[in-house]
Amino acid sequence: MGSRGGDEPMRQHGWDVRLFDYVESHRNTPFEWGGMDCCLFTAGCVEACTGKDFATDLRGYKSEQEAYAIVARYGSIQAMVTALLGAEPIHPAFAQRGDVMLGLHPETQQEGLGICLGVHWAVPGAAGLVFPRIAAARFAWRV
């Protein structure tokens, strides 16, 4: 998405309804690399809020190996999200609904990306979205 620059708002009018609809439409969609994985689900949420797809250059991978090869180009998931969103991470306690979250996935105990929904965040799981508490997050980015 690139740098926001100044105080330019990223979210478009009606973002909250579009975010709700996007999350609900994916609630029961199982995890799939290159489809319904944490990065592309989160990118879809951000696009619902902003109209911009931060994962355009990432799309096309179909396996865990390919996904981690993309992350390796940036050095880490944190560095990748920081670069793609053009914003520095904040403490998760300051995250608001619609912000990007990075934290411990409750099913895999590995890092996962998701979207803040308030006191919980949504991240793709084996049988559909899971909703860990914000305390499971390590970083957040304003959207």
What pTM does this model have? 0.91
**pLDDT tens, per residue, the chain with 143 residues:** 344 444 445 899 999 999 999 999 999 999 999 999 999 999 999 999 999 999 998 999 999 999 999 999 999 999 999 999 999 999 999 999 999 999 999 999 999 999 999 999 999 999 999 999 999 999 999 99
Q: Is residue 2 in a domain?
A: no
Single-letter code of the amino acid located at 104 = L
In this structure, are residues 98 and 45 in contact, taking their beta carbons and an 8 Å threshold? yes
Q: In this structure, is residue 8 part of a structural domain?
A: no
CATH number at residue 93: 3.90.1720
Q: How many domains does the chain have?
A: 1
In a domain, 7, yes or no: no
Distance CA 118, CA 59 (A): 28
Assigned domain for 117 exists: yes
- Note down the domain range covering 19: 15-141
